[in-house]
Amino acid sequence: MSTVNKNTRRIGIAAMAIILIGLGIFFAYDYFKAEKQWTMPEPNIEVQTKTIDGMTIVLRNADYLDDEVTIGFELQGGGPEENDLGYRFYSNGQLLADTESGEQHKLGENHYYLTAKAKGVSAQPDPLNLRVHILATSNIEAQDILFNFDLTVQSDS
C-alpha cells in the first residue's frame, strides 16, 4: 500500500471518529439536559375529580375554539406507561370526535398533566354541552377503567 493511500485512510478514519464523537456528545446533551420547568395551568372550569380502582383523574381545563375542543387533566395512580388512554367527546349524545393529539407533562411519580385535543368539531352550539369519556386500558391488568365527565364549555372564538 502506498503512503498516500495509508494517509487517506487514516484521515478518513479520523474524520469518521470525530463525526461519531460529535453525534454522541450532541445526543447525550439532548438526552441529559434538564427539562424546562413546566407549570400546570390554573383551572378554567369547575374542577371535577373521579377516582376508580386507585386511579384519579382531575379535570381542570377545557377550551372550545373554532372547530377544536381541548381538555386538560391531572392523572394520578397510573401513568401512560401502564395504561393506554383513549378519549371521546360527545355533545347531546352524539359523538363529536375521538382525540387526535395532546400533550403529556410528568409532575411526579405516577402523576401527570395531560391534554386531549379534537379537531373538526364544527356547527356546534355555544355553549357546548360536552361529555368526555376517558378510557384507561391497562397494559398490566385485564381491566378497563372508564371515566365520564360532563361540562359546559363557552366558545373562545
Show the cell assigned to 157. Answer: 372564538
Q: Which CATH superfamily is domain 48-153 in?
A: bacillus anthracis domain (2.60.40.1630)
Using the predicted structure, report yes or no on whether residue 113 has a pLDDT greater than 90. Answer: yes
Domain ranges of the chain: 1-33, 48-153
Q: Which three cell numbers, joined as nine digits, stand for 9? A: 485512510
Write down how long the chain is. Answer: 157
Higher-scoring residue by pLDDT: 76, 155? 76
The residue type found at 152 is T
φ/ψ region of 88 (left if φ > 0, alpha if ψ in -120 to 50, else beta) reads beta
Q: What is the predicted pLDDT for the residue at 123?
A: 77
Q: Output the pLDDT for position 7.
A: 79
pLDDT of residue 37: 79
What cell numbers appear for 122 in the block? 364544527
What share of the chain in percent tops pLDDT 90?
35
Question: Considering only CA atoms, which of 66, 72, 62 is closest in space to residue 129?
Answer: 62
The model's pLDDT over 73-93, given as tens digits with 9 standing for 90+, comes to 999 987 777 788 889 999 888
